[in-house]
Copies of this chain bind each other. A is one copy, B any other.
C-alpha cells in the first residue's frame, strides 16, 4: 500500500494501430504492408498489446492468423477510434498551407499515364509541388493522406470518383513483329509478355476474342508494366496493351496494335478524391484537367 507508485502509463498507441490493421486484414503481412513495416514488427506490436492487456487477440495458425472471439469483438471499437484519428489527422494536414499535392497511383499509371498530364498541370499551377507515390493497391483516402489517387477498378456509386476512361485491352507489338503476324504467323509463335500483377490478362483476352492460345500463362513476366512495354518495343514479344498506358508508344508508332478490335477489361481508370481535402478548389481543378 505504499504511496506514489508511478501513474500507470497510457495504452501503447502504435501497438493498437498495428492490431487494428492486422485485425482488419486478418494478416500480419498485409498489415505490415499497409503500415510500411515488416510483418515481424506487426507481430511484436500485437504481442505487446496482448501482454499489456492480458488478452489473447489472435490465434496463430501455420498459414495465417485468425482473430480470437475477444479480438473480433474489439475490431469495431478500434476501427472507429482510428477513423477518428484519421479525421483529426486530416484536419491537421488540411491546415498546412504550402504542402505538396500527394498523388497515389499504380506504378504503371504513374510511369506511363501521369507524366504527360502532370506536365500540363504543372503549367497551370506553377506554385504547387506534386509528389507521386506508386502503390500496388489503392490507399484508403480516408485513412491515408493522399489528395488524389488514380487506379484501375470497377467504379462504385460512391461520390468522389471520376471515371477517366474505360480500360481497353488489345495485343500490341513492335512494327517489325506486326508485319510477320500480318503475313500469317500465329500469335502463339511469339513470346507473350506479362505484367506480374495482371497475370491472367492473356487468358481473359483469349476468351473474349475467341482466339485460342496454347498456354496463355507462358512467357516472361515483368514486375513493372513499363518494363514489359520497353521489351515489347524492342521486339521481345507481344504485350497486352492498355489503351491509356500506351498513348505515347502508339502515337510514336513504336508499338502497333496487332488487331483492330479491343476488349474491355471490365475495369476503368478511376480518379478518386478524398471526401474533404485542403486546397479543395485546386484539387478539383486538377481533377478536371486530368479528365481531358
Contact with B along A27-64 (1 / 0, CB 8 A): 00000000110000000000001000111000000000
Docked-complex contact A88 and B77, CB < 8 angstroms: yes
A80→B56 CA distance, assembly (Å): 28
* A243 within 8 Å of B (CB atoms): no
The reply to whether A98 and B8 contact each other, CB–CB distance below 8 Å, is: no
Candidate in A7, A78, A88, A110 with the most chain B CB atoms within 10 angstroms: A88
Complex: how many Å from CA A114 to CA B2? 12
A203 interface residue per 8 A CB criterion? no
B7 A135 Cβ-Cβ under 8 A: yes
In the complex where A8-B144, A81-B88, A88-B77 touch, is A54 in contact with B96 (Cβ < 8 A)? yes
Number of A residues contacting the other chain (C-beta, 8 Å)? 57
Q: Mark A221-243, 1 if CB is under 8 A from B, else 0.
A: 00010100000000000000000
List the B side residues contacting A10 at CB < 8 Å: 17, 35
**Bound state CA distance, A77 and B107, in angstroms?**
34
Query: Which of A126-134, A154-162, A190-198, A264-272 faces chain B?
Result: A126-134
Contacts of A8 in B (CB 8 A): 36, 102, 133, 144-145
Q: Which single residue of chain B is at the shortest CB-CB distance from A49? A: B92
Residues of B within 8 A of A54 (CB): 96-99
Q: Is B92 within 8 A of A3, CB to CB? A: no
In the complex, are the beta carbons of A224 and B3 less than 8 A apart?
yes
| Partner pick for A36 among B9, B89, B110, B224, CB 8 A cutoff | B9
Q: How far, in Å, is A181 (CB) from chain B's closest CB?
A: 31
A252 within 8 A of B: no
Is A262 among interface residues, defined by CB-CB distance under 8 A? no
**Cα-based distance from A7 to B107 in the complex (angstroms):** 12
Q: Which residue of B lies closest to A83 (CB)?
A: B84
B-side contacts of A97, CB under 8 Å: 54
- Nearest Cβ on chain B to A92's Cβ, whole angstroms: 5
Contact of A134 among B4, B36, B80, B115 (CB under 8 A): B4
What is the CB-to-nearest-CB distance from A230 to chain B, in angstroms, rounded to a whole number?
Answer: 13
Q: 17 A-B residue contacts at CB 8 Å? A: A3-B111, A4-B107, A5-B132, A5-B133, A5-B134, A8-B133, A49-B92, A54-B96, A54-B97, A54-B98, A55-B95, A73-B91, A73-B95, A74-B88, A77-B88, A81-B84, A81-B88
Task: List the 3 shortest-distance A-B pairs measured between CB atoms, nearest first.
Answer: A13-B13, A81-B84, A84-B84
